[in-house]
Amino acid sequence: MNGNEGKKGKVVLAYSGGLDTSVAIPWLKEQGYDVVTMTADVGQQADNMDEINEKAIKTGALTAHMLDLRKDMVENFIWPGLKSNALYEGVYPLNSAYSRPIIAQALVYVAHLESAVAIAHGCTGKGQDQVRIEICANALDPALEVIAPVRDWHMTREEEMAYAEEHNVPVPTTRKSPYSLDDNLWGRSCECGALEDPWNKPPKDAYGLTADPLDAPDKPAVTEITFKKGIPVAVDGEFMEGVELIGALNKLAGSHGVGRIDLVENRLVGFKSREVYECPGAVVLITAHKALETITLAKDVMRVKADMEKKFAELTYEGYWFSPLMDAIQAFVDNTQEVVSGTVRVQLYKGQAVVEGMKSENAIYRYDLATYSDGDSFDHSAAVGFINVWGLPIKTWTRTHPKERVSFKSAADKKLTAGS
Ligand code: ARG
């Protein structure tokens, strides 16, 4: 150390216990800060969660905080996302993207608690997680300085290992995984290694949460999910809190190979990247929720909501979680969810989640209007006047702008023989 420690005040570091954020502790101290760590429990599959605080202190942190954010993450990020059926570019359930604004929130929270002057995170300069954490932190407290040691220290992997050894930071003994992984309650993200060539089939070891659909049970599972105002409250009639409910569906759907997503996506930072996601619970819940909306929402509401859903996903992906547009979209979506209550039955089979049935006390699906059998109450004669009026603009247009549209260049000219 260079004797500068603490001169600049405290910095709150987002700490995972891994090599990068561990090396960041002595590095930040050398820059003149006292280091306080903040580790967020967002439901990641870490087996050493209870040792992380201790490791932070051993590595030189002044104080170490561990925040269990799972419930907040579900209620304030995952449920709003589910209500919005949010899928970036139509497929990615945004699992990693939801955890960044909550981590930013937790960093700011601890910074205020500790009267810190800065926050720090271990993101590199290439991803969007740096963008999300920094923009979200700035949105919550524009006065806090944000430091990104890994982006700034310009060390190669070898230099980082040497620096770690010099500063008594424990270095991992196991070989580094070829992948960059990130996971939480809503799913697991995996990039790098063989995945960087989009021609490569994802290797088996890129997956960690789901069964290969080819190895999944030959017998399907059928599960019933009950929603109240857009939020899932029970699975197979058993009422559960969100954290438990998502966990149960991750396990069940994951065992049937549901939730694997392989996507080349458009990154915010300008290039395309390929990532493999495993989001079994998310896929089942979004599939079921969308289905329930088909019987409960009005047509025009569904159409406008679809536009909002796309915007919601883009804002989340691009770091604008805490923004006026996001607040407005969430207010709109919340309003639509007042009627989205009911139960959806989903079949899970070899990688697919397929809706089998749905019901709701608020359904505006009406059997007597839809049926082609006895009990039909639809006024067939009303169709005549409706078609006259609905088609009038088209008729008018054609009379004014006649255009030859009835010719078949490729169809064979089969002479009519019958009756001639
Ligand atoms: N591409 C995703 C996103 O930007 C996931 C990033 C997760 N990070 C990782 N190391 N796999 O939201």
Q: Is the CB of 134 under 6 A from ligand 1?
A: no
Asked whether residue 238 falls in the same domain as residue 198, the answer is yes
Question: Is 329 inside a domain boundary?
Answer: no
How does pLDDT run across 186-210, given as a tens digit for each residue?
999 999 999 999 999 999 999 999 9
- The boundaries of the domain holding residue 384 are 369-400
| Residue 358 placed within a domain | yes
| Residue after which a domain boundary falls, among 139, 166, 193 | 166
Do 122 and 263 reside in the same domain of the chain? Answer: no
Same domain, 49 and 96: yes
User: Is the CB of residue 341 below 6 angstroms from any atom belonging to ligand 1?
Assistant: no
Q: What is the mean pLDDT of the chain?
A: 95
When pLDDT is averaged across residues 264-289 and rounded to a whole number, the result is: 97
Q: Is 171 a member of any domain?
A: no
What's residue 4's pLDDT? 72
pLDDT greater than 90 at residue 176: no
Say what the pLDDT of residue 416 is.
62
Judge whether 179 and 195 are in contact, CB under 8 Å.
yes
Same domain assignment for residues 386 and 348: no
For residue 13, pLDDT over 80 is answered with yes
Domain holding 220: CATH number? 3.90.1260.10
For residues 213 and 346, state if they share a domain.
Answer: yes
| Mean pLDDT computed over 256-280 | 97
Is 379 noted as a catalytic residue in this protein? no
pLDDT at residue 253 tops 80: yes
pLDDT of residue 410: 75
Q: pLDDT category, 415, cuts 50, 70, 90?
A: low
Surface-to-core class of residue 92, CB atoms within 10 Å of its CB (0-12 exposed, 13-18 middle, 19+ buried): buried
What is the structure's pLDDT at 372?
95
pLDDT of 1 > 60? The answer is no
* pLDDT reading at 420 higher than 60: no
Crossing angle for the helix pair 324-336 and 299-317, nearest 10 degrees?
Answer: 150
Helices 299-317 and 280-296: crossing angle in degrees, nearest 10, is 150
Residue 137 reports pLDDT greater than 70: yes
pLDDT band at 127 (very low <50, low <70, confident <90, very high): confident
41 as an active site residue: the answer is no
In a domain, 146, yes or no: yes
Which one is catalytic: 70, 100, 132, 274? 100
What local confidence, expressed as pLDDT, does residue 418 receive?
A: 66
- 345 pLDDT band, cuts 50/70/90, is very high
Specify if 138 maps to a domain: yes
Q: Tell me if 44 CB under 6 Å of ligand 1.
A: no
189 lines ligand 1 (CB under 6 A): yes
Q: What is the mean pLDDT of residues 18-43?
A: 96
Regarding whether 347 and 223 lie in a shared domain, the answer is yes
pLDDT tens for 52-102 read 999 999 999 999 999 999 999 999 999 999 999 999 999 999 999 999 999
29 to 33, 104, 116, 134, 215: CA distances (angstroms): 5, 21, 14, 21, 50
105 and 194 share one domain: no
Name every residue whose Cβ is closer than 8 Å to that of residue 115 and which is 6 or more positions away in sequence: 9, 10
Residue % of the chain over a pLDDT of 90: 89
Structural domains in the chain (count): 3
Tokens of 137: 């932190």
The best mutation among 182, 261, 316, 317 to test binding of ligand 1, ranked by most ligand atoms within 8 Å of the C-beta, falls on 182
Specify whether 22 is located in the same domain as 110: yes
Give the range with max mean pLDDT: 15-19, 211-215, 266-270: 211-215
Residue after which a domain boundary falls, among 166, 194, 217: 166
- State the distance between the two ends of the chain, measured CA to CA, in whole angstroms: 103
Residue 331 inside a domain? The answer is no
Residues 384, 265 within the same domain: no
Question: Are 245 and 286 within one domain?
Answer: yes
More confident residue, 230 or 175: 230
96 Cβ below 6 A of ligand 1: yes
Q: Which member of 34, 129, 182, 183 is catalytic?
A: 129
